[in-house]
Amino acid sequence: MLDNSKKTEKIHYICQTYVETKTGDGLQVEKQLQYSLEVQAKDRAEREFQREACIGADAYMLTEDAGSGEVSTPTFLVRLGAVPNLEDF
């Protein structure tokens, strides 16, 4: 008999970059890149933040329940420059 009580979770490591909106009054997501390892997402955020057009970068992780598709609240690994408030996630 199979034990269905075990949850299958998948971890997603994300690098998300931000640029200024065309009107200059806010932020908009420029790129959202997914990685297999935490260090890859953090390193990419740091590299992207060095670009002139990039005004902010986040690296964070999410846990997804494969059975239900539910996704956790992000856990931030690094936040650089101008980034959205935590309440905006």
What confidence tens digit (pLDDT) does each residue in 6-22 have?
Answer: 568 999 999 999 999 99
- State pTM to two decimals: 0.84
**CA atoms 40, 55, 81, 49: torsion sign:** positive
- Report if residue 42 sits inside a domain: yes
How far from the centroid of its chain's Cα atoms is residue 26's Cα? 19
- Report if residue 59 sits inside a domain: yes
| pLDDT given at position 2 | 53
- The domain tally of the chain equals 1
- Report if residue 4 sits inside a domain: no
- Report if residue 46 sits inside a domain: yes
- Report if residue 86 sits inside a domain: no
- Report if residue 3 sits inside a domain: no
- Tell me the residue range of the domain where 14 lies: 9-80
Q: Kindly report the three-state secondary structure assignment for every residue of the chain.
A: CCCCCCCCEEEEEEEEEEEECCCCCCEEEEEEEEECCHHHHHHHHHHHHCCCCCCEEEEEEEEEECCCCCECCCEEEEEEECCCCHHHC
- Report if residue 88 sits inside a domain: no
- Report if residue 72 sits inside a domain: yes
